[in-house]
Structure 1
Amino acid sequence: MHVTAVDVRPIDYAWGSVPTAGLWQVTAHFDGGGYRYFVKLLRHPRLWPGLASIPEQYREEFLDALPWRFEYDMHRSGIEDVLPDGMRMPRLHHVKTIDDAYVALWWEFIDIDTSPWATADFALTAYLLGRLAGRRKVGAEVNRRMPTVASIDNSLRYFVEHRVLLMTVPALHDRSVWQHPLLAEALHRVQDPSLPDDMRGLADRIPAILDHLDALPQTYAHGDAGPQNLLIPAADRSQRVVIDWGFGTPLPIGFDLGQLLIGLAHAGELAPDRLREIDAAILPAYLEGLADEHYIADPVEVRFGYVGSMAARSALCALPLELLDTTPTEADLDLLVDRVRLTRVLVDMAPAAH
């Protein structure tokens, strides 16, 4: 096959992932056709432009702990063999390692069905995630093949204690943050003056919620199971193409449902007022998936694992407080209003400490 031309197009991306240095669509043209690749460049966290945002006393620990090659390591582990029917990995065509700092992954390009996710799509995805969790419960033989990540025994607790409690919660207790004209206007438009106190109340409960989560049954999971990482291919809406694996340590049963619920809402692609309807559909579907893998679970424990993890990981971090340091636009205000609504739903869903 003779390649006649190559097109390279950068892919827009909300730069939230520390290891992701760039994304491109690369099309190789040849006589009679062409082939598209999705190219992802991973980088060592020491090269992350936002490294200065990590307090200096925690920076070295952060650099040592972050498993920046985890996406590639999961592929090499043979995770595809563990996925239930209805889930698959994209094909990895080529890997290029550059020193010890970069890894370029040349994946199959997936044509995504661009129609909005219906509640039934969320339910089917939850069912598949339940089956995946059931197969990967702590002690299951399949986990022996999975990569060992860094030195963190409990990645959820590590994330919450460092990212949420140390870096986000202090801002919630700063009255000047809530008095900023942009945030004050967003709260006024939503008519939710009690949100600051309710968020601070949740922050006070987070340590006890983490303790309760630690006591729940644990499974390995996807770890970042938003719809953006469980692609619906245009060729078959019943399939999910799994990308961008997250936390690599055992997680509370039900964990993946949190990001499944809020991923699109956080991206501004789903109205927060739809979350209650989706919530009612995904928990029973997840429990059905567990049952089909002969995993007997207490629905109360699964519910706490789901909403408790979501509360600890996401409920206090949904407000884009970085906008308060910029010259705001009307679009910024619209975003903040939407995130205030999302935060209210998450805070209201958060469990009591026990």
Structure 2
Amino acid sequence: MQDIELSVSTVELVAASALQADRPVRVLQYVLEPFGVPLSSMTTGGLWRLTGTAIDDIGTRQFHAVLKVIHTPLRWAGIDAVPVEMRGFVVAHVPWRTEADVYRSDLAKYLPAGLRLPDIYLIEDLDEDSAAIWMEDVQPESAGGWDNDCYTRVAYLLGCLAGAPEAPMGAERDIADFVVGPGEHVFIPMLRSGILHSHPAFDHAIDHHLEQDMLLFLDHIPLLLTEAAALPRTRAHGDACPQNMLRAGGGTVAID
């Protein structure tokens, strides 16, 4: 996890924004604790939860926020696993600034009813290769997991976003990048090696034909990429999954 130096002035700015205070606040105490470090993400330097108390014209109040640091893939903890000759490709094709750019844009006003972004309190460029995003500490509903109705509803909302004609497009990623990058260098070799046959995900969860079907599918990838390249491009979350689509307040909050 990337080291973070936190100033009182930054905490006070975040606290004032989180509390929706009209005037500057004075922070009485705060704690910044790391949580859920997704080391598999090339562009995430770390996640922290900020809690504290501050005083303003209303009185003494508690505030909460989440800090996410994003950075160039070259600072990823697992970059040593990427061949040196491939690192230029990774930097060119993994747009690490996208999340900050989205939060700085006016995309939020084009989202369909029922889908929103987290409230953003502050975005700071730490240096030319990293940035800090201070955002709402969304508290997702804990009752039950995702069912078919949840997936259907979120799929509909994402479809509405894709079809929003005036929404900004943002950074584009070609689906071929996933094949040329992690596909050809990680996942396809693993599949061809047979090592996945003993992976727990294959055990009792699917029929025994899946591995062979996946191997046959590899032969169709070039044609599918050609067909995909000819299709219109729209807006997409990029990593829409229950972890990043938080159900809260009767709607869905899209993060990451």
- With normalisation by structure 1, the TM-score equals 0.59
The 3 A distance-change label for structure 1 pair 55 and 29 is same
The aligned counterpart of 1:77 is: 105
Contact 2:93-2:173 at 8 Å conserved across structures: no
Post-superposition CA distance 1:125-175 (Å, at most 9, x none): 11111111111xxxx4433xx43x3xxx65211112221134321222225
Q: Which has the higher strand share?
A: 2
- One-letter identity of the residue aligned with 2:231: L
* 1:228 is aligned to 2:256: no
Q: Which moved more, 1:78-87 or 1:183-192?
A: 183-192
Contact 1:165-1:203 at 8 Å conserved across structures: no
Which among 219, 225, 249 is matched to residue 204 of structure 1?
A: 219
Post-superposition CA distance 1:253-295 (Å, at most 9, x none): xxxxxxxxxxxxxxxxxxxxxxxxxxxxxxxxxxxxxxxxxxx
Which among 135, 141, 147 is matched to residue 118 of structure 1?
A: 147
* 1:25 is aligned to 2:54: no
- How far is the alpha carbon of 1:192 from its aligned partner? 4.5
* 1:108 is aligned to 2:136: yes
Matches of 2:111 and 2:90 in 1, distance apart? 30
Runs of 5+ consecutive residues of structure 2 not aligned to the other structure: 1-24
- How far is the alpha carbon of 1:14 from its aligned partner? 3.6
Q: Which has the higher contact order (CA 8 A, sep 6+)?
A: 1
Which among 56, 79, 86 is matched to residue 51 of structure 1?
A: 79
Matches of 1:62 and 1:169 in 2, distance apart? 18
* 1:6 is aligned to 2:30: yes
Runs of 4+ in 1 over 6 A off after TM superposition: none
Which among 118, 121, 142 is matched to residue 167 of structure 2?
A: 142
The aligned counterpart of 2:255 is: 243
Matches of 1:185 and 1:83 in 2, distance apart? 38
The 3 A distance-change label for structure 1 pair 169 and 84 is same
Which among 207, 230, 237 is matched to residue 215 of structure 1?
A: 230
Contact 2:46-2:68 at 8 Å conserved across structures: yes
- With normalisation by structure 2, the TM-score equals 0.79
Post-superposition CA distance 1:304-328 (Å, at most 9, x none): xxxxxxxxxxxxxxxxxxxxxxxxx
Aligned residue-pair number? 227
3-state SS of 2:240 partner: coil
The 3 A distance-change label for structure 1 pair 185 and 242 is closer
The aligned counterpart of 2:160 is: 131
Q: Which has the higher helix share?
A: 1
Matches of 2:176 and 2:109 in 1, distance apart? 29
3-state SS of 1:73 partner: helix
**1:1-354 alignment, distance < 5 Å:** 1-31=25-55, 32-115=60-143, 116-135=145-164, 140-143=165-168, 146-147=169-170, 149=171, 154-175=173-194, 177=195, 183=198, 192-233=207-248, 236-237=249-250, 239-244=251-256
- How far is the alpha carbon of 1:5 from its aligned partner? 0.8
Matches of 1:82 and 1:162 in 2, distance apart? 32
Q: What is the Cα-based RMSD across aligned positions, in Å? A: 2.4
- How far is the alpha carbon of 1:13 from its aligned partner? 3.5
Matches of 1:64 and 1:202 in 2, distance apart? 28
Percent identity between the two aligned chains: 31
- One-letter identity of the residue aligned with 1:207: P
- How far is the alpha carbon of 1:102 from its aligned partner? 2.0
3-state SS of 1:125 partner: helix
Post-superposition CA distance 1:97-132 (Å, at most 9, x none): 222132111101111111222322222211111111
Contact 2:246-2:252 at 8 Å conserved across structures: yes
- How far is the alpha carbon of 1:28 from its aligned partner? 2.1
Matches of 2:157 and 2:205 in 1, distance apart? 36
Matches of 2:224 and 2:208 in 1, distance apart? 25
3-state SS of 1:167 partner: helix
- One-letter identity of the residue aligned with 1:142: A
- One-letter identity of the residue aligned with 2:228: L
The 3 A distance-change label for structure 1 pair 73 and 154 is closer
The 3 A distance-change label for structure 1 pair 214 and 22 is same
